[in-house]
Amino acid sequence: MFFFKIINNVRIISAKIINNCNSGHPGMPMGMADIFCIFWYKFYKINFNNFFNKDKIIISNGHGILIKYILLYYINIYNLKNIKRFRQINSKTPAHPEKTKIIDASTGPLGQGIGIGIGIGLKQKILKKFNNFYNIFNNKIWIICGDGCLMEGVSNECMSFCGNLNINNIIIIYDDNKISIDGKVFFYFNENIKYKFISLNWNVIGPINGHCYISIYNSLKKAKKSYFPTIIIFSTIIGFLSPDKSNTEFVHGSCFKKKEYLNILKNYFINFKYKKKIFYKNKIKYFLYYFYYFKKNFFELIRIINKIFYFNLINIYLLNNKYKNFSTRFISSKILEEFFILKEIIIGSADLTSSNLTKNKKVCSIKRNFFFNKYINYGVREFGMSLINYGLSIDSIGYNICSTFLVFMNYMYSAIRNISMSKISSIFLFTHDSFLIGQDGPSHQPIEQLHALRIIPRIYVFRPYNIIEIIICWYLSFKLKKNCSAIILSRQNFKNKTNYINIYNVYKGGYNLTINKKKIDLIIISTGSDLEFCIFCYNYFKKYFNIKIISIYCINLFNKQKKCYKNKILKNEKILILESSNEDFWYKYKSKFFFILNLKKFGKSSNENDLKKYFNFTKKFIIKLCLYIINL
């Protein structure tokens, strides 16, 4: 009787709140009320003050988040005003999950929550090395998903990865109501989910009647004891007990009319409110024991949580003289070798380890032993990798890096946007940064990717030229707290010798690479490997003209500098901007005589020299262009 009343109450509130705001998805909260309430009160380890050992709920079908808001109201976390302001501006109850201290992740488009949840589960497995007989890290990750989530290809990427590593703290609650916006899914989604998950090395429970309390309770209890990642298939009726719209697509994303709402009320007798106290688990004694018996691990854990890191600057400085005229991906790999002494760094690649140069002899790949290894072989799963990286980064413990080719960033774009929106610090490493990768052809030559990354809010896009810039890019990426970063590196070797450097100006994202005392004849602005052409022009013209070379390796960082500094750097009428991308952002620095040499078309499958001629990125052409601008 207890659960019957509270479940019905949740259904009525769902329908009423969605009707009040005249917008929402009542079908999922009404259909899953039985499952969610039993899970919430009997299985969910809830404690918002215990950061380490709290169960996580990731609602992948985020349009049904209202059910969680209602249950947060029942335990005094939210009040009635918060619920009534559902989908209103600046409310604590937005239409889809948005990450806060209470809401575990921003799931956004369908399917992404599965990858995020698996990333969180993997991080908890890795952090278990700090337990030492005390369960500081010992929780479950509960992922709620629907038919739409399993239709998305990224969910298959992530579930395959999870089953392969046996991340067994993952439990998926699958709301199998067989309805989506277009109607019954039978006509376009008719897979045998049970055998599909068995083939992916998952434990499968069900199908279970999603409206039978005893079956729900027993299946959840069984899932918690599983030695494998588990999915529970619950057969439910969308919009349960709505006489007009239940089990139809109409209840998925539209609110009820007045008559329909009254018909729902006839199915219930509601006069019930329940408040559950939050039982805070006292973990202080664990830390006292932990501190006494395992002092070294305790201080190491505190250092990692507070993001206090160290590395051998002397070794990195010596690299400056040892590695010149190499590709930036190679120089970066040598710097990463110094960083790998940090236990908290987790890095991985989507089957491009030998190309991204992200692994060395100091690190081992994570297999089913999560305790001492920190390199992740994601396989060919770029989208899944970026979502798992979201989950790894969500607790702000350590530094999480994933890598692939820049052109494959398109696969990851939605996840990068979601990470930026969630104010999470995460690092993306992209190599093969220009058309100069050559004969792989236009499908592998990035043209618009730099522009696509730079227009995302809250992301710092770094495209370094020499070892000093690369070191600072890594340092700044590690220091970011609420922003993610993308480090763009070259495949080809080029001349990137470090001459004059004002280290304080380098930190500003853009600085003068040359020493200029006379009147400036021309300013050339560029980034990354393209600066090789600019330095050549400077050396060619230095007897006749005074040319200033500006490296703006991070536009976002440079734009945040004071106006006086930016005017000092860019003060001139004649500016040439050179970059091997289709970037329109440079027009912000427009002056009286302003020229951009960039790419406006896709590449060709050819060798490096022919491609330079095709795009007019030859030294001869750039020299002629500089002379033309100077003589204007």
Tokens 């329908």 -> residue: 15
Phi, psi torsion values for 130, nearest 5 degrees:
-90, 0
Q: Which one is catalytic: 249, 344, 382, 583?
A: 382
- Exposure string for 33-61, b = 16+ CB within 10 A, e = fewer: bbbbbbbbbebbebbeeeebbbbbbbbbb
Is residue 157 annotated as part of the catalytic site, yes or no?
no
Phi, psi torsion values for 183, nearest 5 degrees:
115, -150
Between the two ends of the chain, the Cα-to-Cα distance in Å is: 87
Task: Provide the 3-class DSSP secondary structure of residue 401.
Answer: strand
DSSP-assigned beta bridge partners for residue 535: none
How many helices (H) and strands (E) the chain has is answered by 26, 18
Residues 6+ apart with CB under 8 A from 147: 175, 176, 177, 178, 179, 180, 185, 189
DSSP state letters, 313-376: HHHHHHHHHH--SS-HHHHHHHHHHHHTT-TTEEEEESS-HHHHT---TT--B-SS--SS--EE
Distance CA 420, CA 629 (A): 39
Residue 171 near residue 140 (C-beta atoms within 8 A): yes
Nearest residue to 358 (alpha-carbon basis) of 336, 381, 341, 387:
336
| Cα separations in angstroms, 281 against 43, 50, 132, 284 | 15, 7, 19, 9
* Radius of gyration, alpha carbons of the chain: 28
Give the burial class of 330: count Cβ atoms within 10 A of its Cβ; 0-12 exposed, 13-18 middle, 19 or more buried.
middle
Tokens at residue 62, please? 């985020």
Q: Is the peptide bond before 207 cis (omega within 30 degrees of 0)?
A: yes
DSSP-assigned beta bridge partners for residue 203: 230
Residues 6+ apart with CB under 8 A from 304: 343, 344, 397, 398
Distance CA 166, CA 220 (A): 19
Residue 332 near residue 358 (C-beta atoms within 8 A): no
| Cα separations in angstroms, 104 against 107, 135, 287 | 9, 21, 24
H/E element, 261: helix 258-266
Task: Provide the 3-class DSSP secondary structure of residue 425.
Answer: coil
Phi, psi torsion values for 412, nearest 5 degrees:
-100, 0
| Active site (catalytic) residues | 382
